Amino acid sequence: MFCRVVACSIAAFFLVSPALSSGETDAFADVNAPDASVAMETTHDQGQLQIPGQSADQTSDQTEDSQTQVKVATLDPAGPSIESTAAAGRAVNVPVLAAPFGLDTVPVASGGILSKWNGVEADIQAENDILSRCRASAELCSAAARNFLAIIAQGRAQTGRARIGLINRAINLAIRPMSDLAQWGVIDRWSAPLVTLTTGRGDCEDYAIAKYVALTQAGVAAEDVKLVIVRDLAVGEDHAVVAARLNGDWIILDNRWLTLVEDREMRRTMPLFVLDQTGVKRFVLTPAPDGRRASAPRQAAASPSAF
């Protein structure tokens, strides 16, 4: 567990942080932190998922509802966090970025994060076999598998930004935030989607893993979905999100809010690692050719790895 298990609301506006503090710690000491950063202003509200414009009472009610497994049929795909494909349309000649945040990456050949990812990929494959049997015979399905297949089916029925937003919303509402220590009695555990949906609880990487699998199962190309580890400079902790590529831009799915934002809108955030079907890569200094990301001073490695 390397993320604060809380829900946050996105700030009304964003300011770019000019430099990083040299005192930040790095939970991945086996690999140097990247040499570029952006920043995001956030506000934190323990245990609640805050939607911009929503009252505290409404947020409290939503948190109570999310403590049980969500019936996907009750989700509203036309909610404010999901924009239509037409509204999200972009020129087809937008440069395609190989990795989120407009940064180059290099492969990671060893270390704790690679071991974690290899382990969860094996668990995902085993669960894919379960989902295949469930599609063939509903009688063999657990409640968690049926709920996950319903989320995937509703996502597949949408396109573009609507598909991404629906899956982000459905997974966020289906899981109650809880640390690995509180749930499993261990500091860090990465769980495949059916395990997470069976308990209805998880921390940031559990949300992200479920979204990663749901997007690919719902028809988003594997190369267009990434699980990204970032450093949240506002709280000094590492955090897991999912990035989905749409019309050349990377859309961020975060368990702390329902609103979709682009990677360039993430403030007070330093990207660390990107994970996908090809393995684990580390972000490096060199920005993409379009120059969307400015470089920053090297971040010093600090505390021992949490893995």
Domains belonging to the chain, first-starting first, are: 7-88+97-287 (3.10.620.30)
Q: What is the pLDDT of residue 24?
A: 33
Q: Give mean pLDDT, residues 116-121.
A: 97
- Pull the structure tokens for residue 101: 């945040």
Query: What are the tens digits of pLDDT across the range 62-110?
Result: 444 444 333 333 333 333 333 333 333 343 444 445 799 999 999 999 9
pLDDT tens digits along 28-38? 434 333 343 33
Mean pLDDT of the chain: 74
Distance, CA of 248 to CA of 97 (rounded, Å): 7
Decide: pTM greater than 0.85: no
Using alpha carbons, list the distances in angstroms from residue 302 to 29, 240, 274, 295: 7, 19, 20, 20
CA distances from 156 to 13, 153, 213 (A): 32, 5, 13
Q: What is the pLDDT of residue 97?
A: 54
How far is the CA of 120 from the CAs of 86, 132, 247, in angstroms? 36, 18, 29
* pLDDT higher than threshold 60 for residue 300: no
Angle, alpha carbons 271-287-104 (nearest 5°)? 65
At 182 the pLDDT is 97
140: its two tokens: 């063999």
* pLDDT of res. 2: 58
* Mean pLDDT of the 126-130 span: 95
The position carrying tokens 């450093």 is: 231
The first and second tokens of residue 161, run together, are 């930004």
CB 1 within 8 A of CB 189: yes
Q: Residue 244: beta bridge partners?
A: 225, 251
Please state the three-class secondary structure of the chain as a single string.
CCCCCCEEEECCCCCCCCCCCCCCCCCCCCCCCCCECEECCEEEECCCCCCCCCCHHHHHHHHHHCCCCCCHHHCCCCCCCCCCCCCCCCCCCCCCCCCHHHEEEEECCCCHHHHHHHHHHHHHHHHHHHHHHHHHCHHHCCHHHHHHHHHHHHHHCCCHHHHHHHHHHHHHHHCEECCHHHHHCCCCCCCCHHHHHHHCEECHHHHHHHHHHHHHHCCCCHHHEEEEEEEECCCCEEEEEEEEEECCEEEEECCCCCCCEEHHHCCEEEEEEEEECCEEEEEEEEECCCCCCCECCCCCCCCCCCC
Asked whether residue 293 carries a pLDDT value surpassing 90, the answer given is no
Give the pLDDT of residue 98. Answer: 77
Percent of the chain exceeding pLDDT 90 equals 59
